[in-house]
Amino acid sequence: MKNVFLVKYGEIAIKGKNRYLFENRLVDTIRKSLNDLGMFSVKKEQGRIMVEPLAEELIDEQPIIDKLSKIFGIVGIAYGLKHEELSMEAVKELVYAHMQKECLDKTFTFKVETRRADKRFPLNSMEINAQIGEYVLEAFPGKLTVDVHRPDRILMVELRNSTYVYSITHKGAGGMPYGTNGKATLLLSGGIDSPVAGWMTAKRGVEIDAVYFHSPPYTSERAREKVIDLGKKIAQYTGGIKVHVVPFTAIQMAIYEKCPHGQLTLIMRRMMMRIAEKIAVMNGSMALITGESIGQVASQTMQSLVVTDSVVEMPVFRPLIGFDKEEIVQISKKIDTYETSILPYEDCCTVFVPKNPEIKPRLDIIKRSEEILSDEIEEMIATAIGEMEIVQMI
Ligand code: ATP
Ligand code: MG
């Protein structure tokens, strides 16, 4: 008898020919993310991934469940017991041990449900359910009652190459296995929105790296650290992330000195997009991601977003486009980026916020303003990229 985590995955099951690629990636991600919690065997088995601790002594399951529940592509995690044999004796042995642990000082209603992946088993599911239900009632007299309609607990028996028993399935993160849907570059600021936008895209299996524009001394070292901390939070879900810290002060100052102030934010945002696109190409990314949502601030009106977009050739994904701030805040709390995001270290945009920002910019006018910068800007961009710092988080 052994402890085991049964990992259930959903959507990837429908991916036809690609299925094994998705499963293999999920297995890799699980191995990687459990690395610092001990030694595990991680194996595919007929629509499940089985994670078995290799240590002899009893392990604390909660940290492992916490880790697994952050991995994209997993819909549920059950912690249970495994027996190498496939027999009613094995089922009873596991059920007894499992219920003994679960029934301590509790009374509850239950029912048994059997999944018979190995059809060679002599009894059918209904017969197994009935026999095991009866066995449990006899083994734990007075404590438990059967309720087939609304049980407190469903005692699951799975008959595969081995026998498995569990009764609680913890919710997984859902989505698709990380790294199975191409790569994109996230413009990561220290705010609430962009980490959420990154998480949402990564949840669909897209590998992400990040770019942060840093403007010392207008943005402090603490602001930079905050962004790195947000990168680490995202890395808990993705297994790692590369954050490019791009020195942005010179470009920002040039814009500030030479362009109409009402257009500052927009021209700055366009510069960010240009640079991010170059970094994306260097990294094999196919798209950019931002945390913008329509109408949230002046630089996010429809007109502004269109003007921002037109400076790059890559598609720009904005997963939060239709979200209200409150909805974004809720997700950021759920994924644990909120507390870091609200730390009061200014981002570069708040330093150079114009008093009367343009809310309906026209592309031709913005382009004309940018022409004043044209002879120096390419060189400034090259310098910024040349001097960027790369922080790799695992
Ligand atoms: P966030 O909460 O993500 O900072 P926000 O509501 O503060 O968003 P803006 O500051 O207008 O909005 O930024 C819009 C988007 O532009 C951000 O979501 C982010 O993707 C990108 N961005 C803004 N500032 C930076 C920066 N310093 N470095 C990298 N990306 C940035
Ligand atoms: Mg911001």
Query: Which three-class secondary structure state does DSSP give residue 207?
Result: strand
Can you give the residue ranges of every domain in the chain?
Answer: 2-171, 183-393
Pocket test for ligand 1, best of 193, 220, 222 (most atoms within 8 A of CB): 193
- The rounded Å distance from CA 50 to ligand 1 centre is 40
Which of 373, 380, 383 shows the shortest CA–CA distance to 263? 373
Ligand that comes closest to the CA of residue 297: 1
Question: Which atom of ligand 1 is nearest to 291's Cα?
Answer: 18
Does the fold of domain 183-393 match that of domain 2-171?
no
How many other C-beta atoms lie within 10 A of the C-beta of residue 356? 8
Pocket test for ligand 1, best of 194, 267, 345 (most atoms within 8 A of CB): 194
Question: Which atom of ligand 1 is nearest to 341's Cα?
Answer: 2
What are the structure tokens assigned to 7, written together?
């990992």
Assigned fold of 2-171: VC0802-like (3.30.2130)
Please tell me if the CB atom of residue 212 comes closer than 6 angstroms to any atom of ligand 1. Answer: yes
Say if residues 70 and 83 touch (Cβ distance below 8 Å): no
Q: By CB neighbour count within 10 A (0-12 exposed, 13-18 middle, 19+ buried), where does 177 fall?
A: buried
* Environment of ion ligand 2 (residues, CB < 5 A): 189, 191, 347
How many other C-beta atoms lie within 10 A of the C-beta of residue 159? 22
The pLDDT score that the predictor gives to residue 349 is 54
Pocket test for ligand 1, best of 189, 201, 225, 309 (most atoms within 8 A of CB): 189
Determine which residue's CA is closest to atom 18 belonging to ligand 1. 291
- The rounded Å distance from CA 194 to ligand 1 centre is 6
The pLDDT score that the predictor gives to residue 12 is 60
Distance CA(223)–CA(78), nearest Å, equals 40
Which of 104, 80, 90 shows the shortest CA–CA distance to 154? 80
The pLDDT score that the predictor gives to residue 14 is 57
Q: What is the pLDDT of residues 133-146, one digit of tens each?
A: 999 999 998 888 99
The CATH number of domain 183-393, selected from 3.60.21.10, 3.40.50.620, 1.10.3210.10, 3.20.20.70: 3.40.50.620
Ligand that comes closest to the CA of residue 186: 1
| 316-317 β-sheet, strand order | 316-317, 287-289, 183-187, 207-214, 241-247, 389-393
What are the structure tokens assigned to 201, written together?
């895209």
The pLDDT score that the predictor gives to residue 118 is 77
Predicted confidence pLDDT, tens digits, the chain (394 residues): 999 999 999 766 556 777 888 899 999 999 989 988 999 999 998 889 999 999 877 678 999 999 999 999 999 999 999 999 999 999 999 999 999 888 777 788 999 999 998 788 899 999 999 999 999 999 998 888 999 999 999 999 999 999 999 999 999 999 999 999 999 999 999 999 999 999 999 999 999 999 999 999 989 999 999 999 999 999 999 989 999 999 999 999 999 999 999 899 899 999 999 999 999 999 999 999 999 999 877 778 999 999 999 999 999 999 999 999 999 999 999 999 999 999 987 665 555 777 788 889 899 999 999 999 988 899 999 999 999 999 998 7
Question: Structure pTM?
Answer: 0.90
The pLDDT score that the predictor gives to residue 292 is 95
